[in-house]
Chains A and B, each alone.
Chain A
């Protein structure tokens, strides 16, 4: 085993164990960090879902956020007070996963003839349509306000407000203990479980068939593989994982949020994570999510607060102060874009490339 292989294979379980121990550290500050990590776990799930489609199978999907949205809105509709369903958390999430997978198959089945760029376009189109539907179906989705509060009961038949997957934020230390770690550990556990599942899948017949399809569809079909079936299974699994992430996201936010949370930008940034880390390589994808989402959600606000401090602002002439380019968040798009360009130029297969050779990204 090469040193890099050891590194990429060994650090994951260690990391997961360390993260699982985090909420038990009796320090309020650490608890707050843990809370900030939950959305990163959720977005990591989303990226792993996209990785099944783009990374393993080589189908350039530009609308993964649609499945994320389907998961979130299914859980929202099935659990909010304004609808009569009010299902329990596991049931709602499961329905969201199934709905998302079904939508994946339904939208991909007619497009199996398409390849490359055209498939990318159609998936982008589907993603955009879903966002318009969410925005315009006011009666069901509450339009731009989103469904809220999404605070499902924990188990079927149990309706104790104290036993919710997540309760309204309560950051006092005493209460914090019972509130947040539960959901934090749940998300972390689901992420770890998905990882193990995907690791086994990579080595299975199905996983190797996906890679064969990615490398050369024609050769793969000549060897007796059925490209249509393989593509559908990949999209179903990818969409299911994205739907799971969406359901968790809605619960974590306690609202589905507006349709903007599920638009093209989300798809693009998830794709950036997958490509930055290493297309087709699980540990790479997780690293990509950690770097990009961590930069976006954790580092940027911290740096922004720092930059907004008076003594820092006073280093600049008066006409520059308070301008967009003196805010780290103003550079967000710029940095995302530049990162993509530089990556493609110098390390097109990502920071941690997959072990197998690649056709899509040399």
Chain B
């Protein structure tokens, strides 16, 4: 076992950066769903965070159904099977739900002024929260810890899980690895998808100019539906990883995490995929480092302060292109 960090500020800093990067990847994953939808239909999908929350609840149901109820299944074949099953079920569920909501709520408003879909999205968010409240009640629900404990406080006594970075002075467990193993390939696949597939090209064309895309023979409605499906699937993947990582879910978690993800998307330049990843990682780092060195009660305020400052100086986000006003 590596020694404690309390006496070694540099190692503690490194550890916090590592934790920040891992949780940042999670926020980035949820942010990608926001950014995809915004890029195509210019809708700030307020319901995305709550869709993510419903994904967490479905993952929990899958877990209970498979019989993986406690952390005694951690690392066992049954536990890993449950994880694999969740990674299929939650994205499918969230994608289907997102497409259904798009058809029922946003599609009739496609030509309406911009405020209408935004307000509808807030409405959908409330409805999802209502569903979550009925589904799992108003209190915190424990999610079975199938991946073993995570590293939270470097100063605390080292817990049981094997350290994958033994000897470096840092701690990085199987759980952290899991986050990286799911999020990075997902992000890479998304980038490749948008860049190289026909549907991805159709998405980019629709994002630039829906009318022109339609004139070129692109079925814009199908492209939009596919975008909502993809955004929902990302929320689903995010929900599985998040639940397994933090092990607590409740019906209000969607708002907070949605706001983080949303902030991440905006920081990077909403509609911009690398921007969302950059923004997510920034938020993870700010939250972890701010929590460690300033006080966890201020870390959230810090995130929004950074959002405000970035937007004041770069109104289109860090990587966002300057848009000219259409007359």
Would A340 and B120 count as touching, CB distance under 8 A? yes
Given A114-B315, A344-B119, A135 and B126 contact (CB-CB distance below 8 Å): no
Would B112 and A110 count as touching, CB distance under 8 A? no
Question: Nearest-CB distance from A221 to chain B (Å)?
Answer: 11
Would B112 and A334 count as touching, CB distance under 8 A? no
Given A340-B120, A344-B119, A344-B123, A125 and B134 contact (CB-CB distance below 8 Å): no
Interface on A for B, CB 8 Å cutoff? Answer: 60, 110-111, 113-114, 116-118, 120-122, 124-126, 128-129, 132-133, 135-136, 218, 264, 268, 271-272, 275, 324-325, 330-341, 343-345, 348, 358-362
Given A125-B263, A136-B297, A334 and B130 contact (CB-CB distance below 8 Å): yes
Question: Nearest-CB distance from A226 to chain B (Å)?
Answer: 17
Would B301 and A337 count as touching, CB distance under 8 A? no
Given A330-B133, A337-B125, A339-B123, A344 and B117 contact (CB-CB distance below 8 Å): yes
B305 within 8 A of A: yes
Q: Map CB proximity to A onto B301-321 as digits: 1 under 8 Å, 0 otherwise.
A: 100110110011001100000
B188 within 8 A of A: no
Closest A residue to B308 using CB positions: A125
Closest A residue to B326 using CB positions: A218
**How distant is the Cα of A333 from the Cα of B109 in the complex, in angstroms?**
22
Q: Map CB proximity to A onto B251-265 as digits: 1 under 8 Å, 0 otherwise.
A: 000010001001100
Question: Nearest-CB distance from B144 to chain A (Å)?
Answer: 23
Q: Which of A122, A135, A325 has the most CB of B within 10 A?
A: A122
Question: Nearest-CB distance from A324 to chain B (Å)?
Answer: 6
Would A325 and B105 count as touching, CB distance under 8 A? no
Question: Nearest-CB distance from A119 to chain B (Å)?
Answer: 9
Would B301 and A132 count as touching, CB distance under 8 A? yes
Would A118 and B311 count as touching, CB distance under 8 A? yes
Q: Map CB proximity to A onto B82-115 as digits: 1 under 8 Å, 0 otherwise.
A: 0000000000000000000000010011001111
**How distant is the Cα of A289 from the Cα of B270 in the complex, in angstroms?**
33
Name 28 A/B residue pairs within 8 A (Cβ), A-sorted. Answer: A113-B315, A117-B270, A124-B259, A125-B304, A125-B307, A125-B308, A129-B304, A129-B305, A129-B308, A133-B301, A135-B297, A218-B327, A272-B122, A324-B138, A333-B127, A337-B124, A337-B125, A337-B128, A337-B130, A341-B124, A343-B119, A344-B109, A344-B117, A344-B119, A345-B108, A345-B120, A348-B109, A348-B112
In the bound complex, residues from chain A placing their C-beta under 8 Å from that of B298 are 132, 136
**How distant is the Cα of A362 from the Cα of B117 in the complex, in angstroms?**
12
Given A218-B327, A360-B115, A333 and B123 contact (CB-CB distance below 8 Å): no
**How distant is the Cα of A336 from the Cα of B310 in the complex, in angstroms?**
33
In the bound complex, residues from chain A placing their C-beta under 8 Å from that of B262 are 121
Main secondary structure on B side of the interface with A: helix
In the bound complex, residues from chain B placing their C-beta under 8 Å from that of A60 are 115, 118
**How distant is the Cα of A332 from the Cα of B124 in the complex, in angstroms?**
13
Closest A residue to B43 using CB positions: A117
**How distant is the Cα of A275 from the Cα of B255 in the complex, in angstroms?**
21
Would A268 and B138 count as touching, CB distance under 8 A? no
In the bound complex, residues from chain A placing their C-beta under 8 Å from that of B160 are none
**How distant is the Cα of A275 from the Cα of B148 in the complex, in angstroms?**
48
Closest B residue to A269 using CB positions: B126
Would A128 and B304 count as touching, CB distance under 8 A? yes
Would A114 and B113 count as touching, CB distance under 8 A? no
B266 within 8 A of A: yes
Would A324 and B134 count as touching, CB distance under 8 A? yes
Would A120 and B44 count as touching, CB distance under 8 A? yes
Q: Map CB proximity to A onto B234-273 as digits: 1 under 8 Å, 0 otherwise.
A: 0000000000000000000001000100110010001000
Would B308 and A340 count as touching, CB distance under 8 A? no
Given A110-B312, A120-B44, A338 and B134 contact (CB-CB distance below 8 Å): no
Would B120 and A341 count as touching, CB distance under 8 A? yes
**How distant is the Cα of A203 from the Cα of B18 in the complex, in angstroms?**
59
Would B300 and A132 count as touching, CB distance under 8 A? yes
**How distant is the Cα of A109 from the Cα of B1 in the complex, in angstroms?**
54
Supply 14 further A-B pairs (C-beta < 8 A) apart from A122-B312, A125-B304, A132-B298.
A60-B115, A111-B308, A117-B114, A117-B270, A122-B311, A324-B133, A331-B130, A332-B130, A334-B130, A337-B122, A337-B129, A341-B123, A358-B113, A361-B113
In the bound complex, residues from chain A placing their C-beta under 8 Å from that of B315 are 113-114, 118
Given A122-B308, A129-B304, A348 and B116 contact (CB-CB distance below 8 Å): yes
**How distant is the Cα of A360 from the Cα of B115 in the complex, in angstroms?**
6
Given A111-B312, A118-B311, A129-B305, A336 and B123 contact (CB-CB distance below 8 Å): yes
Closest A residue to B108 using CB positions: A345
**How distant is the Cα of A124 from the Cα of B305 in the complex, in angstroms?**
11
Q: Which of B127, B131, B297 has the most CB of A within 10 A?
A: B127
B3 within 8 A of A: no
Question: Nearest-CB distance from A218 to chain B (Å)?
Answer: 6
